[in-house]
């Protein structure tokens, strides 16, 4: 299973390279939630669905994924649909196992909708975010292709392909992309009970086992948060960091690349506090969570409860998501409780 997921990352990377060479603003649509969706989103999901169907033909495929074909079936979307179909067919043509077969636009729509599973506590479910961090992808900054596997509601496998993440540490970085690094593009993978490994995306280099930061003094810790203020309450994160005595400025990057960077010790803490009413989707955290936990980290909600991926497409959380190592977590939880209580008191005045 891990081999399939890892090979998919390298296969899909070729698709992204094609898209980024010719990315135009016209390739961007708006979903109902106004977040950008690119041709690469749909193309990636289609390719992953096709490969999983082929490799796992002996069992029913249950895929929980971010995209569906709804927008592509609307009037005026034919040109976009045809571009995606051509992109996917060009990508499949590079893979001998597909025997030169080509997809029609109807085939593509069906393939994209293979990701319509609801998941749940029973059986085996693949979870996919075809491009996590779409805005980062469009800016040429951080994004990730994230795949995870749930068995009976538990995460047992996770793979993060981060094409723009440098091999060198991003600790202390003030921007999303460390362009001074020669080696860019990292693959992280983890299976339950076996640890987390990292290797370069574009080489045959051997994977190396990684571990989270061992920092125990919060004053020496650095923390990650979402690049977009709309994705997390930066003010609340700042309050928590101040209570901990964190001296380093926050490192703000898009996508689950944060989880990958944390798993190798680039930073020690991750804080995510979405605005009220936002519901976290499992595909935004499944792969990242196991990559961090297998590297020795702890991932919980703001109350210290483990994330529960068995409820379907959404996570039922207490306020937000926090990540740290075992030594820092008790201090982090205390700072989180105090900061949230202060925020609620101020709101009530």
In whole angstroms, give the CA distance from residue 30 to residue 18. 21
Pairwise CA distance, residues 343 & 123, whole Å: 41
Q: Residue 243: which H helix or E strand, with range?
A: helix 234-244
Burial 63-74 (b: 16+ CB within 10 A, else e): bbbbbbbebbee
Angle of the 2-21 helix axis to the 39-55 helix axis, nearest 10: 150
Q: Say which DSSP state 207 is in.
A: P
CA–CA dist 225, 319 (Å, integer): 15
Which residues are marked as active site?
41, 134
- The crossing angle, in degrees rounded to 10, of helices 78-92 and 105-112 is 80
The Cα–Cα gap between 260 and 189 comes to 9
The DSSP secondary-structure symbol of 150 reads E
The values of phi and psi at residue 160, to 5°, are: -120, 120
Beta strands 36-38 and 63-65: pairing type? Answer: unpaired
């Amino acid at each position: 299973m891990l081999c399939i997921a890892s090979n998919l990352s390298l296969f899909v990377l070729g698709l992204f390279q094609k898209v980024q060479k010719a990315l135009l603003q016209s390739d961007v649509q708006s979903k109902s939630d106004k977040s950008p969706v690119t041709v690469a989103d749909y193309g990636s999901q289609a390719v992953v669905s096709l490969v999983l169907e082929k490799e796992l033909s002996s069992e029913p495929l249950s895929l929980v994924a971010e995209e569906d074909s709804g927008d592509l079936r609307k009037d005026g979307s034919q040109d976009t649909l045809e571009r995606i179909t051509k992109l996917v067919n060009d990508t499949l043509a590079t893979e001998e196992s597909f025997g030169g077969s080509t997809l029609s636009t109807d085939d593509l729509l069906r393939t994209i909708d293979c990701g319509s599973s609801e998941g749940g506590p029973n059986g085996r479910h693949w979870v996919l975010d075809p491009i996590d961090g779409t805005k980062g992808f469009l800016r040429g900054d951080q994004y990730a292709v994230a795949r995870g596997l749930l068995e009976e509601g538990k995460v047992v496998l996770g793979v993060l392909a981060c094409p723009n993440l440098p091999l060198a540490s991003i600790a202390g970085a003030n921007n999303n992309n460390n362009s001074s690094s020669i080696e860019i593009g990292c693959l992280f993978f983890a299976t339950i009970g076996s640890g987390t490994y990292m290797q370069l995306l574009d080489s045959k280099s051997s994977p190396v086992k990684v571990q989270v930061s061992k920092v125990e003094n919060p004053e020496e810790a650095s923390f990650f948060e979402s690049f977009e203020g709309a994705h997390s309450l930066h003010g609340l994160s700042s309050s928590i960091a101040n209570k901990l005595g964190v001296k380093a400025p926050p490192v703000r990057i898009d996508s689950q690349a944060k989880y990958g960077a944390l798993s190798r010790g680039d930073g020690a803490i991750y804080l995510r506090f979405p605005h009220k009413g936002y519901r976290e989707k499992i595909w935004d955290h499944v792969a990242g969570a196991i990559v961090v936990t297998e590297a020795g980290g702890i991932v919980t909600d703001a109350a210290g409860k483990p994330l529960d991926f068995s409820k379907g497409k959404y996570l039922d959380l207490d306020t937000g998501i926090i990540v740290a190592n075992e030594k820092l977590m008790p201090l982090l939880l205390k700072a989180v409780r105090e900061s949230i209580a202060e925020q609620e008191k101020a709101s009530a005045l």
